Structure 1
Amino acid sequence: MVKWTSSNMPSQKGRSAVVTGTGGLGFETALALAQAGAEVIIAGRNPKKGVVAVAAILETVPAADVRFEALDLASLASVADFGRRLRNQRLSLDILINNAGVMRPPKRRMTEDGFELQLGTNYLGHFALTAHLMPLLRQSKSARVLTLSSIAARQGAIDFNDLNAEVNYRPMPVYAQSKLACLMFALELQRRSEAAGWGVTSLASHPGLSRTNLLYNSAGRWSSVGILRSLLGFMFQPVAHGAWPTLFAATSPLAQPGNYIGPERMSETRGYPTLAKMPAPALDQADAKRLWELSETLTGVRFW
């Protein structure tokens, strides 16, 4: 692939985007899309951070069409309410970027609906969000759904016998499971869109190692691994560069349906966007189908 950066992004004028997450990768993604002319809706659970993010974008791009909407991915009721609001406000949506996440709480925590926090926020919340926004996405002439995974997905495994980590909670393996689930969702969404004629393109990306809010503000910050990562933060690429794979997948004509995009250098930890190596479990279509059907049951949503 070419040495692509956000400066290579085609004009997004006339296109609309929802980006989950108010800081880090979410902010940089929203900023770049606004700079390219897109209408951007930043969705997050903290209104104060949302106001700050919108103000920062407007300071850089005074003419930006950007606003904040409240969305708590750890609450299925909040996700459903967000979907209803957007369906009442607009007729279509062109880009959905499933970005926000939680990383490695040292102790097991739960969402409002009783799911393990990482599974519920990183994966199930975005699964439900995509379903609620699918009617809008299907009205777009060229909708894309971009779901963020992680290089941690390489170590991930879907434990169907303990998906909610009730028996065995270990922060990193559970985080890796949630990010593998995100990748499997992106691939299965593409297969189902093609089979049903939804006209929605699904892709996945990962940011490599970037100095994101997850690095400094995650619930696991004061764990030994969190402290190490904070101290060695200088080794991580700038967060704006970490957003490049997402922006490439969401906007570039070179990105193809079902692609998984990550950085090109140093075992996909940094660099320009390129095709990422797909973890073997992500290619198991039987497990992807099983996970999808289980996720519909757990979240109470259906795609149409």
Structure 2
Amino acid sequence: MLQAARYLLGSSGASGFGSKSTADEVTAACPDLCSLTAIITGATSGIGAETARVLAKRGARVVIPARSVKAAEDMRARILAECPGADVLVLHLDLSSLASVRDFARRFLSLGLPLHLLINNAGKFSHGQLALSEDGVEMTFATNYLGHFLLTKLLLGRMAETTASTGVQGRIVNVSSSVHGWFSGDWADYLQLVTRRKIPYDATQAYAVSKLANVLHTKELAARLQEMGADVTVNCVHPGIVRTRLNRDREGLVTEFVFVLLSKLLKTIPQVINLRCRPPHLSLINPGPS
């Protein structure tokens, strides 16, 4: 109870930061991050955009992959307006398409850039009827998990190379949700039954399955990285309760009422990002030569 109260009040913990700390605050003591390259999916709005802004502000090269190149260019312009010297690269990526993921990875790797941070942040919460990706996969699962799984697999080699040549530990952050615990059962069977329309489509269950897959992927990848002896760490993050565009299709009086009730528990977007940008988690202290 005491711990929960301290959390709600934003009291500082052992790290010196609390739930009310912002990413700007926790990165203020960081050295210049100009030697780091970060790829952040879902960085055109919400918590992904704030992650991109703060890392770019601290000097990191930020790659923004996006389905809407215009939205990504607009985000790049906003970052440059605040930080004129920022290094921000925009590339097209549709996470629901495996072909697009492969194309993005190919284009990024062809640039010859290092890779220190991969933040798999993009998320989708489907509303209404069942929708399938061009690969025949339930859209939420395709976007939230499958696309990120393939992206990580295709870029892991470059991250391992970067780590070996620079001595800077690589970091992968998979953004999940505590909602992953809302699903129980065989997720593979569930997806097959839903895709074949053998059972009714439930958007919340589909979202929970995708986030469960993020957690399972993180655990398995962590074990394999340890076996490989790769100096790369993968973490799974629950960002907390925050109002972002993920809820845009459910806007209305009921949604507004719920957010008013939860207002004291909600985090702001800058507060959510503090966990991802804390130096101990992203190896931002003494990043070393590029």
TM-score by length of 2: 0.80
Alignment of structure 1 residues 210-229 onto 2, 5 Å: 210-215=242-247, 217=248, 220-221=249-250, 228-229=254-255
Could you tell me how far 1:111 is from its partner in structure 2?
Answer: 1.1
Structure number with the bigger relative contact order (C-alpha 8 A, sep ≥ 6) is 2
- Aligned to 2:191, the other structure's residue is in SS state coil
Name the counterpart of 1:8.
26
Could you tell me how far 1:251 is from its partner in structure 2?
Answer: 4.2
Q: Verify the 8 A CA contact 1:206 1:245 in the aligned structure 2.
A: no
Residue 188 in structure 1 maps to residue 206 in structure 2: no
Alignment partner of 1:161 out of 189, 192, 205: 189
User: Larger radius of gyration, structure 1 or 2?
Assistant: 2
- Aligned to 1:79, the other structure's residue is in SS state helix
Could you tell me how far 1:178 is from its partner in structure 2?
Answer: 0.5
Name the counterpart of 1:242.
272
- Point out where structure 1 has 5 or more consecutive residues left out of the alignment: 254-304
- Aligned to 2:241, the other structure's residue is in SS state coil
Amino acid at match of 2:37: S
Residue 53 in structure 1 maps to residue 71 in structure 2: no
More helix by share: 2
Could you tell me how far 1:245 is from its partner in structure 2?
Answer: 2.2
Alignment of structure 1 residues 101-116 onto 2, 5 Å: 101-116=123-138
**TM-superposition CA deviations, 1:56-108 (whole Å, max 9, x none):** 11111111111211100010000000000111102420000000010132211
**TM-superposition CA deviations, 1:21-64 (whole Å, max 9, x none):** 11111101101111111000011100111111101111111111
- Point out where structure 2 has 5 or more consecutive residues left out of the alignment: 1-13, 164-168, 286-290
Amino acid at match of 2:221: L
Partners of 1:72 and 1:250 in 2: CA distance: 25
Q: Verify the 8 A CA contact 1:92 1:138 in the aligned structure 2.
A: no
Partners of 1:245 and 1:188 in 2: CA distance: 22
Amino acid at match of 2:95: L
Name the counterpart of 1:82.
104
Q: Verify the 8 A CA contact 2:41 2:119 in the aligned structure 1.
A: yes
Q: Verify the 8 A CA contact 2:26 2:277 in the aligned structure 1.
A: no
Partners of 1:229 and 1:251 in 2: CA distance: 38
**TM-superposition CA deviations, 1:197-220 (whole Å, max 9, x none):** 2322111112111111112x3xx4
Could you tell me how far 1:230 is from its partner in structure 2?
Answer: 4.0
Q: Verify the 8 A CA contact 2:126 2:139 in the aligned structure 1.
A: no
Query: Sequence identity of aligned pairs in percent?
Result: 34
Name the counterpart of 1:152.
179
Alignment partner of 2:236 out of 199, 204, 223: 204
Could you tell me how far 1:241 is from its partner in structure 2?
Answer: 1.4
How many pairs were matched up?
A: 247
- Aligned to 2:190, the other structure's residue is in SS state coil
Partners of 1:84 and 1:41 in 2: CA distance: 14
- Aligned to 2:89, the other structure's residue is in SS state strand
Partners of 1:84 and 1:213 in 2: CA distance: 29
Partners of 1:252 and 1:205 in 2: CA distance: 17
Q: Verify the 8 A CA contact 1:98 1:148 in the aligned structure 2.
A: yes
Compute the RMSD of aligned alpha carbons: 1.8
- Aligned to 2:35, the other structure's residue is in SS state coil
Partners of 1:90 and 1:221 in 2: CA distance: 42
Partners of 1:203 and 1:83 in 2: CA distance: 21
Aligned in 2, Cα 1:209/1:252: closer, same or farther, shift over 3 Å?
Answer: farther
Name the counterpart of 2:94.
72
Name the counterpart of 1:286.
none
**TM-superposition CA deviations, 1:114-136 (whole Å, max 9, x none):** 11011100000000000111121
Aligned in 2, Cα 1:75/1:242: closer, same or farther, shift over 3 Å?
Answer: same
Amino acid at match of 1:156: F
Deviates more, 1:137-146 or 1:150-159: 150-159
